[in-house]
């Protein structure tokens, strides 16, 4: 009898053990699907009025769900949409629709043990108050970018726009975490960061990973887009297509369909830029379009510095509103040399910085802040039915003057493809265009501190009749030279150009000429 009881106990123990093993076995696939690691995100793609677009990159492919609502206690659930796989990591997206405008939503990834909720906001069409941050060229130094992000996050922006160059090489998957996603963590979950395409992304892999991580479904070679926030309309242009009729037609259709009070354009390469690269992107086309369609501020990056030009408008169009052009490329990349010019520049400095723009109805306040917290620049624009504020209007300069200044500056700051010798000069070609029917005498010579190492006869000529002109400036070397792998010449070679326009004499010292063999 005792033996039978023992046997019964043994059977019950074995049965329970088998049952436990079966439960454990059948539960393993479910647990495995959800014991994931989030590699990137969550991060917001762009702001929305009734929608939100949120992305995660996760190490395991599975079916995921997020929970969201106006409070964390009254929520809905939606499945994450699988977007693709790169480097054995899987990108997912949550599209939240039918949201309440001008409201704060909480959301989280549904996962065992995950109790972390994030909060973000929608906007309203009639929302007159808006704060946004603008910055560019954060690549190369994540530590500096992290400080910039921390400081700009303290400004409590509704959104952040970037002028691109987020990574050193957009085609290298690992850099996206090292230079960008690891830095925006803590801000990107709640604040949309909407970047334009930079050349380090566009040239790395033709913009494929940029589009994959940060955009919706545009063709990879046509990365232009727009979005709204309250009373503002934002347009991002693709720097690769300055002469594209398709992008121009899209821009005209987009801006004419917008009824927003404030209109901003941002792209990577500037139309007007004196320091750094001295860029003149799309200068033959886009400034006229910006003026015609009443763009308020044009932001760009590419040159790693800060430049704000005085407001610009064409002297033949008295009814046009002025445009402010700003180059902001100081969010992390190595800094470039600035050009000081009192004629056209309201402010310029080679410094790490970010821009904060506050809009309240008819008033726009712009403050540019250095990384140490000090104020670099301020701008006030008031725009209403009576026009613009006198303080802003009094600073307007003619667009023709700025066109001429930046054209001359750009042409004396190009790279050279061969090096000058003692007896064999280089022939430096200056391609010039006046843009006006006035006579413009000019003189090109070596910059004062360059004459000890190089020799060139000064060259004088005149631009006239709005005709293109190409002149050759011959440069000899007095001493031996060296050049770095980055094309930096030693001793340094610079040109000086003096010209007269509108009863004013202007002198420009070009950037140091780099050596880039063909």
Whether 248 is in a domain gets the answer yes
Both 148 and 291 in one domain: the answer is yes
Based on the fold, state whether residues 162 and 226 are members of the same structural domain.
yes
Kindly state the tokens that stand for 349: 């400095």
| Alpha carbons 114 and 481: distance in angstroms, whole number | 62
Are the beta carbons of 140 and 240 closer than 8 angstroms? no
Total residues found in the chain within this entry:
518
- Same-domain pairing of 197 and 296: yes
In a domain, 19, yes or no: no
Residue pair 219/207 in contact by the 8 Å Cβ criterion: no
Considering the domain boundaries, does residue 518 fall inside one? no
Same-domain pairing of 294 and 365: yes
Q: What is the pLDDT of residue 10?
A: 53
What tokens does 185 get? Answer: 């963590």
In degrees rounded to 5, what are phi and psi of residue 470? -125, 125
Distance of alpha carbon 88 from alpha carbon 169, whole angstroms: 19
Contact between 308 and 288 under an 8 Å Cβ cutoff? The reply is no
414: helix, strand or coil: coil
**Verdict on whether the full-model pTM lies above 0.85:** yes
Q: Are residues 51 and 187 in the same domain?
A: no
DSSP 515: B
Task: Indicate if 256 and 329 belong to the same structural domain.
Answer: yes
Q: Say how far apart CA 415 and CA 432 lie, in whole Å.
A: 16
Query: Do residues 256 and 386 share a domain?
Result: yes
Of the candidates 121, 147, 172, which is a domain's last residue? Answer: 121
Residue 115's pLDDT is what?
A: 87
* Residue 315, CB-side half-sphere exposure with 13 Å CA sphere: 10
Maximum separation of any 2 CA atoms in the chain, in Å: 123
Distance CA 386, CA 409 (A): 37
Whether 215 and 342 map to the same domain: the answer is: yes
Query: What is the 3-state secondary structure of 259-290?
Result: CCCEEEEECCCCCCCCCCCCCCCCCCCHHHHH
Based on the domain organization, do 301 and 176 belong to the same domain?
Answer: yes
**CA–CA dist 481, 401 (Å, integer):** 37
Q: What pLDDT is stored for residue 502 in this prediction?
A: 86
Kindly state whether residue 4 falls inside one of the protein's structural domains: no
Helix-, strand-, coil-residue percentages of the chain, each rounded to 5 = 20, 35, 45
**What's the CATH number where 157 sits?**
3.60.21.10
SS3 106: strand
We report the CATH number of the domain holding residue 69 as 2.60.40.10
Contact 213, 179 (CB under 8 A): no
Residue 32 included in any domain: no
Residue 453 within any structural domain of the chain: yes
- Work out the number of other CB atoms within 10 angstroms of the CB of residue 4: 8
Q: Do 93 and 137 belong to one domain?
A: no
State whether 105 and 186 are in the same domain. no
Domains of the chain: total = 3
Instruction: Give the DSSP letter of residue 23.
Output: H
Query: Could you report how far apart the first and last alpha carbons of the chain are, in Å?
Result: 101
User: Domain residues for 420?
Assistant: 412-509
Tell me what pLDDT residue 19 has. 41
- The number of CA neighbours under 13 Å toward the Cβ of 23 is 6
Collapse the DSSP code of 456 into the 3-class scheme (helix H, G, I; strand E, B; otherwise coil) and give the result: coil
In the block, which residue shows the tokens 């997912």? 92
| Res 35: pLDDT | 67
Of the three residues 405, 438, 468, the one that is the final residue of a domain is 405
Q: What is the mean pLDDT of each run of 10 residues along the chain (518 residues)?
A: 47 46 38 69 95 96 96 91 97 96 96 90 92 97 96 92 97 97 96 97 94 92 96 97 98 97 98 96 96 97 98 87 97 96 96 98 98 97 95 96 95 93 95 88 95 95 90 95 86 96 92 89
Domain-located, residue 24: no
In a domain, 497, yes or no: yes
Mark 106-128 as b/e (b = at least 16 C-beta within 10 Å): bbbbebeeeeebbebbbbeeebe
**Rounded-to-integer distance, Cα 145 and Cα 68, Å:** 30
CA-atom Rg of the chain in angstroms: 29
Nearest Cα residue to 322 out of 398, 249, 244, 254: 398
Boundary residue ending a domain (73, 103, 121)? 121
Task: Classify residue 423 by burial, with Cβ atoms within 10 Å: 0-12, 13-18, 19+.
Answer: exposed
Q: Is 64 in contact with 79 (CB distance < 8 Å)?
A: yes
pLDDT at 470: 95
Closest residue by Cα to residue 510 from 491, 501, 499, 497: 497
Other residues' Cβ atoms within 10 Å of the Cβ of residue 345: 19
Contact 114, 83 (CB under 8 A): no
Query: What stretch of H or E contains 84?
Result: strand 81-86
Residues 311 and 373 in one domain: yes
């Amino acid at each position: 009898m005792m033996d039978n009881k023992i046997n019964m106990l043994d059977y019950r123990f074995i049965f329970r053990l088998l049952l436990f093993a079966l439960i454990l076995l059948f539960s393993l696939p479910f647990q495995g699907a959800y014991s994931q690691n989030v590699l990137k995100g969550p991060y917001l793609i762009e702001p929305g009025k009734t929608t939100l677009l949120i992305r995660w990159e996760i190490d395991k492919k599975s079916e995921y769900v997020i929970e969201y609502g106006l409070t964390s206690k009254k929520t809905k659930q939606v499945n994450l949409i699988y977007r693709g796989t790169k480097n054995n990591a899987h990108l997912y997206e949550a599209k939240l629709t039918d949201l309440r405008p001008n409201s704060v939503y909480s959301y989280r990834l549904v996962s065992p043990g995950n109790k972390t909720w994030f909060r973000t906001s929608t906007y309203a069409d009639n929302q007159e108050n808006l704060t946004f941050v603008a910055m560019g060229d954060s690549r190369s130094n994540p530590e500096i970018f992290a400080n910039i992000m921390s400081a700009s996050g303290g400004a409590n922006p509704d959104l952040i726009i970037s002028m691109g160059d987020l990574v050193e090489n957009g085609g290298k998957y690992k850099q996206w975490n090292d230079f960008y996603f690891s830095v925006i963590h803590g801000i990107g979950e709640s604040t949309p960061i909407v970047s334009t395409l930079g050349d380090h992304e566009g040239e790395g892999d033709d913009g494929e990973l940029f589009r994959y991580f940060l955009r919706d479904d545009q063709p990879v070679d046509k990365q232009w887009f727009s979005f709204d926030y309250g009373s503002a309309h934002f347009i991002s242009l693709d720097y690769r297509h300055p002469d594209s009729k398709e992008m121009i037609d899209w821009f005209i259709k987009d801006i004419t369909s917008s009824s927003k009070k404030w209109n901003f354009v941002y792209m990577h390469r500037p139309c007007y830029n004196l320091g750094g690269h001295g860029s003149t992107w799309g200068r033959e086309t886009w400034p006229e379009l910006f003026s015609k369609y009443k763009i308020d501020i044009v932001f760009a990056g590419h040159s790693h510095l800060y430049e704000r030009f005085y407001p610009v408008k064409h002297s033949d169009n008295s009814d046009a509103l002025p445009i402010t052009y700003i180059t902001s490329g100081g969010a992390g990349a190595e800094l470039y040399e600035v050009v000081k010019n009192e004629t056209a520049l309201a402010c310029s400095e080679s410094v790490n910085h970010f821009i904060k723009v506050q809009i309240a109805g008819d008033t726009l306040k712009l403050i540019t802040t250095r990384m140490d917290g000090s104020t670099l620049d301020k701008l006030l624009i008031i725009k209403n039915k009576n026009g613009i504020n006198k303080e802003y209007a009094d600073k307007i300069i003619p667009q023709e003057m700025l066109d001429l200044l930046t054209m001359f500056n750009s042409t004396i700051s190009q790279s050279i493809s061969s090096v000058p010798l003692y007896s064999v000069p280089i022939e430096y070609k200056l391609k010039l265009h006046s843009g006006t029917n006035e006579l413009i005498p000019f003189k090109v010579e070596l910059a004062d501190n360059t004459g000890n190492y190089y020799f060139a006869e000064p060259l004088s000529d005149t631009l006239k009749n709005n005709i293109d002109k190409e002149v050759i400036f011959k440069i000899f070397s007095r001493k031996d030279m060296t050049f770095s792998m980055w094309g930096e010449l030693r001793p340094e070679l610079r040109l000086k150009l003096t010209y007269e326009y509108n009863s004013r004499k202007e002198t420009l010292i070009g950037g140091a000429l780099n050596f880039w063999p063909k």
